[in-house]
Amino acid sequence: MAEPAASHMLDTVPPVLRDDIEEVLVDEARIQARLDELAAEIDRDYAGHDVLLIGVLKGAILLMADLTRRLTINSSIDFMAVSSYGSATSSSGTVRILKDLDAAIEGLHVLIVEDIVDSGLTLDYLMKNLRSRRPASLEVVALLTKPTRREVDIPVRYVGFEVPDVFVVGYGLDYAERYRSVRSIVTLKPEVYGG
Ligand code: 5GP
């Protein structure tokens, strides 16, 4: 007899984390299938060009790895780390660069790889900052977007999934540095937040 879908989807979750999960919002298979589509779109749009993927640490690492290995155009990667959140789960609006790019981007086709666009404040800052370095083009790919939370209008060219206004973890996204290795996008039980 087939297993219930929900428990099957949690098979790959490290057992120490499994009990913390409330709901699977986007399962692994849907993420991987959507990445096939996004990579095909990016291949088409950038045909004949090289692209520099800039991953925003740490949340974008799984997306970066899964996306770059799907592309058939020539891609290189670099990373930035910014702080947009304090310890809370909502945006402070203050963005600091903790780690900058290794090299200049002038004249390059740049694609920012972001885990989730929430208020949009982080990306707004990042795009202004990177645009001032005169890339040939600048676009964004984000696995997730929370449209109802947007405070600034950000042109996100490639979006994986829209999610409601709930705090999510998994597929690179953390809560207190945990759950990044969970292969699906999930929500956590309220007691995990200690509330
Ligand atoms: P924004 O500046 O758009 O409000 O926030 C962007 C950053 O906040 C994301 O890159 C991510 O690090 C964090 N963030 C926003 N929403 C969530 C969420 O639901 N879960 C997690 N783990 N991080 C989030």
3-state SS, the chain, equals CCCCHHHHHCCCCCHHHHCCEEEEEECHHHHHHHHHHHHHHHHHHCCCCCEEEEEEECCCHHHHHHHHCCCCCCEEEEEEEEECCCCCCCCCCCCEEEECCCCCCCCCEEEEEEEEECCCHHHHHHHHHHHCCCCCEEEEEEEEECHHHCCCCCCCCEEEEECCCCCCEECCECECCECCCCCCEEEECHHHHCC
CA 47 to chain centre: 23
pTM as predicted: 0.92
Proportion of the chain above pLDDT 90, given as a percent:
80
Residue 17: pLDDT above 90? no
Residue 153 alpha carbon to ligand 1 centre in Å: 16
- Residue 175, pLDDT score: 96
- Residue 2, pLDDT score: 44
Q: Which residues are catalytic?
A: 118
Ligand 1 atom nearest to 60, measured from its CA: 10
Per residue in 106-128, pLDDT (tens digit) is 999 999 999 999 999 999 999 99
- Residue 41, pLDDT score: 98
Per residue in 87-98, pLDDT (tens digit) is 455 566 678 899
Mean per-residue pLDDT of the chain: 91
Ligand 1 contact, 142 CB (< 6 A): no
Mean pLDDT of 37-66: 98
Ligand 1 contact, 173 CB (< 6 A): yes
Ligand 1 contact, 119 CB (< 6 A): yes
- Residue 1, pLDDT score: 45
Please give the CATH architecture assigned to the domain spanning 29-164: 3-Layer(aba) Sandwich (3.40)
Residue 185 alpha carbon to ligand 1 centre in Å: 13
Ligand 1 contact, 92 CB (< 6 A): no
- Residue 194, pLDDT score: 82
- Residue 12, pLDDT score: 82
Residue nearest to atom 16 of ligand 1 (CA): 118
Residue nearest to atom 17 of ligand 1 (CA): 167
